[in-house]
């Protein structure tokens, strides 16, 4: 397995729902510490690393460490767990799914009997079964407020890979790779691995305030329009890195978009233009930090986002790295 693929496997399999990013952060810190000049962890848990330049401009790249998950709200007399969501979780991706708590306890998700099978699935009719015989035994295993992540193995199909949490561990891998490959340049480059994106871009906001960047670029996944009866979207898997034009949370600054496109053309890096009609990224709050920041986003095309089996193409990952390495010295 290639180095990058190995890192992708390790990172996607780590437990890290929003608010519980410690294990992901430790892994990334160990990967990058030899290659950066400074490492800080702020109060919320954002990992802020710096590759110093000559102070020409401050550029902030952000990828989020957290993933979606479930949170235990109530344990019934028979030991079944009711739950709420952490981030955008849909009922259809929960059913029969396996989840793991931070202490390693595993459960499967079941549902109450539906009178009519055509009735829609509802999260409040579902529960996690951790194999406990009663409430007492369940309480010894899991507490109210404990968070669970989806449990699914990483699989390589060659160029295409399947895993949970490519959103946004693939963005973290892109940043790690850029850190490793980037030669010194005049700009100071801040690589920020953020917390709590999935619950509303909460980590990126204070880290952008702290850094006060001249340019901000979020690196995250985006949807594709290339599956059967899919959405009308021009992004396809394997057709290159996606330069964001807009999404629900931001409109990329024309200078950032222009520079990214120019660099991609100059170095023949395959790219696509992304207009995402649903969803947002850390770019939203970076753009609105302090007096405002020129911001944009570079996205990795991804099918089945927020399911336990998301799919990316390794070439899109590589092209995202190439584009960022060239672009951040071009601002």
Tell me which residues touch Co ion (CB under 5 A): 167
Segment lying near Zn ion (by CB under 5 A), choices 187-195, 220-228, 270-278, 294-302: 220-228
Contact 111, 126 (CB under 8 A): yes
- Is 197 a known active-site residue? yes
Residue from the set 20, 21, 167, 310 that interacts with Zn ion by CB under 5 A: 167
Integer Cα distance of 229 and 245 in angstroms: 24
Contact flags string 7-26 toward Zn ion, x per CB under 5 A? --------------------
Shortest separation between residue 292's beta carbon and Co ion, angstroms: 24
220 binds, among Zn ion, Co ion, none (CB under 5 to 8 A by kind): Zn ion
Indicate the residue among 167 and 316 with the shorter CB distance to Co ion.
167
236 binds, among Co ion, Zn ion, none (CB under 5 to 8 A by kind): none
Q: Which of 20, 21, 67, 197 is catalytic?
A: 197
316 binds, among Zn ion, Co ion, none (CB under 5 to 8 A by kind): none
Indicate the residue among 188 and 220 with the shorter CB distance to Zn ion.
220
Contact 89, 68 (CB under 8 A): yes
The reply on whether position 220 binds Zn ion by CB under 5 A is yes
Indicate the residue among 168 and 313 with the shorter CB distance to Zn ion.
168
Local structure of residue 112 (DSSP, 8 states): P
Which backbone phi and psi does 247 adopt, to 5 degrees? -145, -165
CA-CA distances (angstroms) from residue 250 to 9, 46, 222, 246, 282?
30, 21, 14, 6, 9
Shortest separation between residue 317's beta carbon and Co ion, angstroms: 17
Structure tokens at 307: 């399911």
Alpha helices in 254-310 (DSSP H): 254-266, 283-287
- Helix/strand/coil (H/E/C) assignment for every residue in 11-22: HHHCCCECCCCH
Shortest separation between residue 69's beta carbon and Zn ion, angstroms: 13
Length of the chain: 331
For 189-256, give the DSSP string: EEEEEES--TTTSTTHHHHHHHH--SEEEEEEEE--S-STT--S-S--TTS-EEEEEE-SS-B--HHH
H-run or E-run covering 10: helix 3-13
Give SS3 for 296. Answer: strand
For 166-197, give the DSSP string: HHHHHHHHHHHHHHHHPPP-SSEEEEEEES--
Shortest separation between residue 74's beta carbon and Co ion, angstroms: 26
31 binds, among Co ion, Zn ion, none (CB under 5 to 8 A by kind): none
Indicate the residue among 247 and 313 with the shorter CB distance to Co ion.
247
Counting residues that bind Zn ion (by CB under 5 A) gives: 3
Shortest separation between residue 66's beta carbon and Zn ion, angstroms: 9
| CA 63 to chain CA centroid, nearest Å | 6
Pairing of strands 215-222, 38-41: unpaired
Indicate the residue among 18 and 187 with the shorter CB distance to Co ion.
18
Indicate the residue among 21 and 167 with the shorter CB distance to Co ion.
167
Contact 125, 119 (CB under 8 A): no
Shortest separation between residue 306's beta carbon and Co ion, angstroms: 6
310 binds, among Co ion, Zn ion, none (CB under 5 to 8 A by kind): none
Residue from the set 66, 168, 236, 282 that interacts with Zn ion by CB under 5 A: 168
Residue at shortest CB range from Zn ion: 168
| Positions that interact with Zn ion (CB under 5 A) | 167-168, 220
Residues forming the active site:
197
């Amino acid at each position: 397995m290639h180095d990058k693929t190995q890192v992708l496997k390790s990172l996607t399999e780590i437990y890290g729902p929003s608010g519980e990013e410690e294990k992901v952060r430790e892994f990334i810190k160990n990967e990058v510490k030899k290659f950066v000049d400074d490492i800080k962890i702020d109060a919320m848990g954002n990992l802020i690393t710096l590759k110093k330049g000559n102070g020409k401009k401050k550029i902030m790249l952000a990828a989020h460490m957290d993933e979606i998950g479930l949170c235990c709200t109530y344990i019934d007399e028979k030991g079944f767990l009711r739950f709420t969501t952490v981030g955008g979780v849909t009922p259809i991706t929960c059913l029969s799914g396996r989840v793991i708590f931070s202490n390693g306890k595993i459960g499967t998700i079941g549902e109450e009997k539906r009178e009519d099978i055509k009735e829609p699935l509802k999260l409040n009719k579902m529960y996690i079964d951790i194999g406990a015989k009663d409430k007492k035994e369940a309480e010894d295993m899991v507490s109210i407020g404990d968070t669970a992540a989806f449990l699914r193995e990483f699989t390589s199909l060659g160029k295409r890979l399947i895993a949970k949490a490519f959103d946004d561990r693939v963005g973290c891998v892109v940043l790690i790779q850029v850190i490793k490959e980037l030669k010194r340049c005049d700009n100071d480059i801040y690589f920020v691995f953020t917390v709590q994106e999935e619950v509303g871009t909460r980590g990126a906001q204070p880290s952008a305030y702290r850094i006060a960047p001249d340019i901000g670029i979020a690196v995250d996944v985006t949807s594709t329009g290339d599956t059967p009866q899919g959405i009308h979207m021009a992004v396809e898997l394997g057709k290159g890195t996606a330069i964001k034009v807009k999404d629900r949370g931001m409109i990329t600054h024309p200078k950032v978009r222009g520079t990214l496109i120019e660099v991609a053309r100059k170095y023949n890096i395959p790219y696509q233009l992304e207009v995402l009609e649903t969803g947002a990224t850390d770019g939203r709050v970076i753009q609105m930090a302090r007096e405002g920041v020129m911001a944009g986003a570079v996205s990795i095309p991804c099918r089945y986002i927020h399911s336990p089996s998301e799919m990316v193409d390794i070439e899109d990952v590589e092209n995202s790295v190439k584009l960022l390495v060239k672009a951040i010295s071009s601002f």
